[in-house]
Amino acid sequence: MKLNQLEIFCKIIELGSFSKAAEALHLSQPTLTEHMKSLEDELGLILLDRLGKKIHSTKAGTILREYAQRILRLTREAEQKLRSIQGELKGDLTIGASTIPGEYILPPIIKRFRDDFPGIYVHLTIGDTKRIIDDTINCQVELGVVGAKVESMKLDYYPFVKDELVLAMPSGSPWGKAKSVSMDDLTKIPFILREEGSGTRMIMEKALRDSGFAGARLNVVMTLGSTAAIVQAMKSGAGCSIVSRKAVQDYLHNDVIRTKPIAGITFSREFFIILRRGKVKSPLCEALFTFLLENARTASLQRPGDA
């Protein structure tokens, strides 16, 4: 087995397509197909199920993929380590983040990081907290930033940035002129909810529960898969939601969206950097991890639009 064959194999499974993998790897499709045939002939096994529109791994392919990902990861780490000995940090680094840090906090920090380390190319994937935790545990990303702490023996958590959640609503909402909103009002306000697995939703539900309010009492009119979608729904007048202040900050100045306190309850949280416990950080990951910790206070003070 050759490293380039393993890379091709993993990319095909990742993208579910020979043509997409060929494009991503800058290879012709016949060349890619020939590499896969050679790998399967060498092993005497069928690794890919070509039935249907999407390519899937066979049982043998699933086993090989697990080892192939380890081999490719170790190869990249070895290359990075050797470069770091020469004083050069260069290569690709894949990290993950939940919505708020991924869309509002990390981009300006990554820009400053790239200014200091121009040889490091950062791939940032954004998903809900559950997905980023799973990707970190499974070593799909080297480092994650999430908005809720889910206890796991496989993860180490490092405090990063503090955040405030607020009840936000369209300026034309009947509750928009009130000084505050009561717990009983929450049962009447049309409410837009984040999806299961969202850190924002986990923190919101815990805070409500700790205050004696059952989440089932909310008047949920829709569930959306991102904070950006919720903000757009609020702007159209669809309802209210509990979101990060960072997500609505720009809309508060022109009174498109308003925030109101909920009597007797406050929502605060901390974003965490997460790493796979026991896994040695690559030199690139070590550099970014240190940079994030050093820039945590600046990120906490920075408002969207400042960068």
Reference 243, options 255, 228, 223, 265; nearest CA is 228
Up-side HSE of residue 137: CA atoms within 13 Å toward CB? 12
Cβ-contact 123, 92 below 8 angstroms = yes
CB neighbours of residue 190 within 10 Å: 18
The pLDDT mean for the chain works out to 86
| pLDDT number for residue 267 | 83
Mean local confidence (pLDDT), 49-77? 85
Residue 113's pLDDT band (cuts 50, 70, 90)? very high
| pLDDT number for residue 191 | 93
In the chain the domains, ranked by start, together with CATH numbers, are: 3-83 (1.10.10.10), 89-161+270-301 (3.40.190.10), 163-268 (3.40.190.10)
Concatenate the DSSP letters of all residues of 73-127 into one string. HHHHHHHHHHHHHTT---EEEEEEE-HHIIIIIHHHHHHHHHHH-TTEEEEEEE-
Query: Is this model's pTM higher than 0.85 or not?
Result: no
Asked if the model's pLDDT at residue 306 lies above 80, the reply is: no
Angle formed by the axes of helices 283-294 and 106-116, nearest 10° = 120
Which residue matches tokens 């490293």? 3
CA distance 178 to 259: 10
Give the rounded distance of the alpha carbon of 120 from its chain centre.
19
| pLDDT number for residue 298 | 60
Q: How many angstroms separate the Cα of 54 from the Cα of each of 49, 96, 135?
A: 9, 25, 22
| pLDDT number for residue 297 | 64
No. of H helices and E strands in the chain? 13, 11
CB neighbours of residue 183 within 10 Å: 15
Asked if the model's pLDDT at residue 85 lies above 90, the reply is: no
pLDDT digits (tens, 9 = 90+) for 119-168: 899 999 999 899 999 999 988 899 999 988 888 899 999 999 988 899 99
pLDDT digits (tens, 9 = 90+) for 224-272: 988 899 999 999 999 999 999 888 888 888 888 989 888 888 888 889 9
| pLDDT number for residue 303 | 44
pLDDT digits (tens, 9 = 90+) for 165-209: 999 999 888 887 778 888 888 888 899 999 888 888 888 888 888
Asked if the model's pLDDT at residue 109 lies above 90, the reply is: yes
